[in-house]
Amino acid sequence: MHHSSSSSRGGSSPKLENAMVNAYKERITEYESDIEKLWKELEEAKAELAKRDDEEKDWLSKERGYEMRISTLKSTNHEIIGMGEALQDECKKLMGKVAERDKTIDQKNTAIESENDELKDMLALCTSAAAERDAERRVNKLLTDTCKLLQSEVSSANAILSEKTAKREQALQRVAALKAELMDQKDEMGVLVQGVRELVQKALSREVMHCYIYDVITVSYCASRRHKEFLIIAMLNHLFVAIDESVGHLQQSIRALHKRMSDFLSRMEQDSDSESECSDSDESMESDALPVKKPRRTIWKCRECETTIRGQQAHRLYHVSGHENLKVECPLDECDMLMAITSVSAQLLNTHNKTIGSLRLEEKDPRDRDRKECLRKASGAEGKYFTLGGFVEGIEEQKDPSKCKKCGEELGTSQGKRDHIAVHLKLKIPCPVGRCDQLCHWSGLARHLKRIHKKKISSLDKHEQKRLEEAREAYKAGSITDSVLEAQRHLHEERERLVDVITNEFLLDVKTNKERINSAHRSKQMIERYEQCTDKLLSLYEDEHVI
C-alpha cells in the first residue's frame, strides 16, 4: 500500500513539471514579445532623441547667428549715432557759415546805406538851387490852392453841421426821455459851431497877408536880388505856419465835434425803442463823416471813479460792467461760479486748465449770449458814468503795425514777428523734458509744459534749462528745420524698432528652444524608464528560467 501511494505520487510529478514548463514557455514568449515591443519603442525614442539633438544643434547655430546679428545691429546703431553726431556738427558748421554770411550782408548794407546818404545829400544840393528859383513862381499857386481848400472844408463842415442838427432834431422827437440832456448838448454844440466859424473867419482873413506880401515885394523891387529872396522866404514861412495852424485847429475842432455828436447819437440809439431807425441815421452819419488821414482814438473820464479809458466803446462797457457789478456764469456745465466779463479767460485757465478757443460749440453759445446780455446792460448804464463832459480828447492812433510780406498779417511786437516768421519757415523747438518727442513753436512751449508735464519754464531743472537754452538759440538762428528734426526722430524710432524686433525674436527663439529641450529631457526620462523596465523583465526571466 505504501508502494502504491509512492508510485502514484511519482507518476503525477512529470505531468506537473510539463505543465509548469509549458506555462513558463508561454510566459517567456510573452516576455519576448514585450521585449521586442520595448526595443522598438526604444529605437523610436533614440531616433526621436537624435532628431531633437539635431534640432537643438540647429537652434544653437541660429542663436549664434542671432548673436552675430545683434552685434552687427549694435555696430550699425553706433554708426547711426555717429551719423547723427556728424549731422549735428554739419548743422553747427552751417550755422557758423550763415552767421558769417549775415555779417557780410550787414557790412554790405551799411556800405550801401552810406552811399545812399551821400547820393541824397548830393540830390538835396542839386534840388535846393532849383527850389529857390521855383519858389517865387509857386507862391501864388500855393496861396490860391490853400484858400480854395479852406473854403471847401468850411462849406463841407457847414453842410455836415446842418445835416447833423436836422438828425438831432429828429432824434429829439423820437426820444422824449432825453430831452434835458439834448438841450445841454445843443448849447454846447452851438458854442463849438461859433468857435469853428471864428476860426474860419480867421483863416479867411489870411488873404490880407497875400496882398501884403505883394506890396512888400513891390516896395523892395529896387533892393538887391539877395535881399528880395530873403524877404520872400521869410514872409512865406510866416504865412505857411499861420495857415497850417489855422487849418490844424479847424480840423481838430471839426473832428472833436463830429466825435461828440457820433457818441451822443450812438447812446441815444441804444436807449431808444426804435433801434432800426436810429441805426439808419447812424449809418448815414458815418457815410457823411469828414475824411481823416489817420484813425483816431478817444479818451474818456469816468464820472464815478475818474479813471481815464482809452480806445473803443467796448473798453468803456467793460468798465461800466465793473461799476454795475454785472456777472456772467462759467461756460462749463460742471462749474457754477459767477465772475466779471473780463475774468473768464483767467478763470478757465487757472481753474479748469482750458482756453476759450478749446471750448466746444455747445459751451461757446451760452458764453456768447451771456456776454452780449452783459454788454447790453452795460450799454444802457453807460450814460451814468460817461457823459460828453467826460470827453477828454481824441488822440492819433499809433502807426499801423508791420505786415507780413507773405500773408499780409499785421504784427506788433518783435516776439510776435519772430514767432510768425518761424511759422512760415516751419521752425519748431523740441520739448526740454526728457523722453518727450513733442515739437512745438516757442509761443506754445509754455502751454505744452503746463498741460502735459504740469511744469513751468521757471521750474525746470538744470539739465532741462540747458537743453531749453540750446534749443532756443538754435530756434532764433533758424537752424532747427523740420527735415533735420524728422531725420533725427526717424533714426531714433528706427533704432528702437530694430531693438524691439530683435529682442522679441530672440525671446521667442529662446522660449521655443527651452520647450524643445524640455521635451528632449522628457523623452530621455522615458527611455530611461523603458530601460529600467527591460532590465527588470530580463532579471525576472533569468530567475524564472533558473528555477
Contact by Cβ (8 Å): 516, 460: no
Cell, residue 202: 480867421
Specify the pLDDT at position 249.
Answer: 58
Closest CA to 380 of 272, 302, 260: 272
The shares of helix, strand and coil residues in the chain, as percent rounded to the nearest 5, are 80, 5, 15
Query: Looking at this protein, which amino acid is placed at residue 282?
Result: D
Q: What are the CA-CA distances from residue 519 to residues 45, 56, 113, 439 (Å)? A: 12, 11, 89, 52
Specify the pLDDT at position 546.
Answer: 47
Report residue 334 CA to chain centroid gap.
28
The span from the CA of 124 to the CA of 491, in Å, is 62
Q: What are the CA-CA distances from residue 252 to residues 52, 154, 349, 386 (Å)? A: 106, 13, 44, 21
Helix (H, G, I), strand (E, B) or coil at 339: strand
Contact by Cβ (8 Å): 260, 181: no
Contact by Cβ (8 Å): 254, 157: yes
Specify the pLDDT at position 37.
Answer: 84
Q: Where are the domains of the chain?
A: 2-100+491-546, 141-294
The span from the CA of 391 to the CA of 301, in Å, is 6
The span from the CA of 515 to the CA of 512, in Å, is 5
Can you say whether residue 204 is alpha, beta or left, with left for phi > 0 and alpha for psi between -120 and 50 degrees?
alpha
For residue 38, what are the contacts with CB-CB under 8 A and spacing of at least 6? 530, 533, 534, 537
Specify the pLDDT at position 347.
Answer: 81
Q: For the chain of 547 residues, list the mean pLDDT of each consecutive stretch of 10.
A: 43 74 84 84 85 84 82 81 80 81 81 74 65 62 64 70 70 55 54 53 44 41 46 51 55 59 56 39 37 53 82 82 87 84 82 79 80 86 71 49 69 69 75 80 80 83 82 61 49 61 62 64 63 63 52
Dmax (CA) for the chain in angstroms is 207
Specify the pLDDT at position 95.
Answer: 82
Contact by Cβ (8 Å): 369, 361: no
Contact by Cβ (8 Å): 429, 440: yes
Q: pTM surpassing 0.85?
A: no
